[in-house]
Structure 1
């Protein structure tokens, strides 16, 4: 029986993992706590085997007034939580970082491998990277640390770019056909990966992603198909999109950002239990 504490009560990923592990009540006991006030500091961590730290600011903001808050929540809170977990005898600390530590997507193909040096382009990415660096020094044989740098996570009820694309797919009759590639991670694949990390008591830096890369136009087309909608993909808008690529919404939708598939394999057990098409069907239905 593994006892797991999730920081970030009612978070999308936290709730998903709690529900996932609830399928095996004989193997996992899961609790979650709210980190929005200081009451968590009085919580005793010593009875838990694992702390999964998902609490943080998830969205990207360019508002300079938000910068201090990002570092306070994403960096300082992470380090403080990890220190408490180690002091009180927790065996494993799992931290949700992000592919955003490598910066923004690009207009041309961009493949991240293990030699790629993180170059965050905003304080969201930098706060995540600094949190990683802050907790690495705490690792020991008795306190294992897992750092995950997932790409865009999606699934039923998720927030961010995926639901915006899904909404567009259900309404628009035409969509640009741009040749781009993105790494993505369905919530079920993520939860299975986290379960494996807990089961095998792992430590280290990991890059989970779906088996397949995603082309935005094909993703939109597949979503439309699931809803019985017809959508035409066209390249007539491609020159204009390339001219406007520096606009944030354009490079988020049509940019390139993938992990080398080799770095995402886990040899002991396959965590990629959902194909791309199956994951979209589960998300949309």
Structure 2
């Protein structure tokens, strides 16, 4: 099968392409190439859109930057899909299009969207645009909302936690007991492969994917300590003190601010039951704990 992957140069893209190449002919399409439309083969059957802007480490990205990367480029690829002979368009959105900071119950696809950041709002805007577009009956649109994806090459919050704990620095947020949904890159790739193989099982629309189990930040800390074979105590600083420091970090360049604190300590759960039921998936390749341990070991290497 010929599959066109847009945005293959990132962490998720590199891992997904490697996974798909075992049984498919994968075309890596870069929209930085002004002639990218010519790189899509006439026999391409599947479009996978990974293009997007997520992180703004320098704090300089504008609303237009996010709109261009997450909405306009999606529109360009989808218009080509509609005119092509391809039958399946898989758009990788984000849980941030629905909720970014807190939910104590597993979020379903039918829940009201509450994006807050420019990233989340632009991802939701792309979803709404796609869902309004006319699509021929022989074509299918599948929108995927994953929570935080982690794995080898990941440069997100797991890597930051690893750097702190592996140096023997005590974890100062042990007073917070939270549960969050994640998805390992191996389980992410598995879902994509299942969607491609069984796309006729699915209707056009939005689907949540995640690991089956939620994981607490304190549990991740324990996994890091086990992998590194180190013994350090966690520090139960008062929550009020930590929140006060985070508020200071909103104005002063220190490692913690309110946004980072919420991501590390709030509950954010997602339900993957809809897509698992429709695709008849009984068990994912990795448990959440196994996936996190594999990711941590990749940092160690």
Establish whether TM, by shorter chain, passes 0.5.
Answer: yes
Note the C-alpha offset of 1:9: 3.2
Pick which of 108-117 and 80-89 moved more.
108-117
1:196 aligns to what?
194
* Alignment match, 1:122: 117
Alignment equivalent of 2:181, drawn from 180, 183, 186: 183
Matched, 1:50 2:51: no
Q: Classify 1:139/1:224 alpha carbon distance in 2 versus 1 (closer, same or farther; 3 Å).
A: farther
**Is the contact between residue 155 and residue 187 of structure 1 (CA under 8 Å) also seen in structure 2?**
yes
Shift in alpha-carbon separation, 1:167–1:132, aligned structure 2, 3 A: same
- Cα distance change on mapping 1:68 and 1:85 into 2, 3 Å: same
Pairing partner for 1:283 from 295, 298, 301: 295
Question: Aligned partners of 2:283 and 2:71: how far apart in 1?
Answer: 28
Unaligned runs of 5+ in 2: 248-257
Which stretches of structure 1, 4 residues or longer, exceed 6 Å deviation after superposition?
none
Task: Return the alpha-carbon distance in structure 1 between the equivalents of residues 66 and 283 of structure 2.
Answer: 31
Q: Does 1:59 align with 2:61?
A: no
How far residue 33 of structure 1 moved from its aligned partner, in angstroms, is 1.3
User: In the TM superposition, what are the counterparts of 1:249-260 in structure 2 within 5 Å?
Assistant: 249-260=260-271
- Displacement of 1:111: 3.9
Q: Report the CA distance shift for 1:161/1:119 in structure 2 as closer, same or farther (over 3 A).
A: same
Contact 1:173 1:230 in 2 (8 A): no
Q: Does 1:169 align with 2:172?
A: no
SS in 2 for 1:233: coil
* Structure 2 residue matching 1:183: 3-state secondary structure: strand
Matched, 1:216 2:217: yes
* Residues 248-275 of structure 1 deviation map (CA, whole Å, 9 limit, x = unaligned): 2211211221113534634412462111
- 1:148 equivalent to 2:133? Answer no
What are the within-5 Å matches in structure 2 for residues 73-152 of structure 1? 73-106=69-102, 109=104, 111-136=106-131, 137-152=133-148
CA distance in 2, matches of 1:44, 1:234: 54
| Distance change >3 Å, CA 256–CA 284, structure 1 → 2 | same
| Distance verdict in 2 for CA 1:66–1:164, change over 3 Å | same
**CA RMSD, Structure 1 to Structure 2 (Å):** 2.2
> CA 1:100–1:131 in structure 2 vs 1: closer, same or farther (change >3 Å)?
same
Moved more, 231-240 or 94-103: 231-240
Count of matched residue pairs: 280
* Cα distance, 1:110 vs structure 2: 5.2
Task: Show the counterpart of 2:252.
Answer: none
Q: CA deviation at 1:61?
A: 6.8
Q: SS state of the match for residue 79, structure 1?
A: helix
Shift of 1:63: 4.8
Deviation for aligned residue 1:139:
3.1
User: Matches of 1:118 and 1:180 in 2, distance apart?
Assistant: 22
Q: CA shift at 1:160, angstroms?
A: 1.5
2:154 corresponds to: 158
CA 1:65–1:200: 2 relative to 1, 3 Å: closer
Q: What's the counterpart of residue 230 of structure 2?
A: 229
- Structure 1: runs of 5 or more not aligned: none
What is the TM-score with the length of structure 2 in the denominator? 0.85
Partner of 1:269 in structure 2?
A: 281
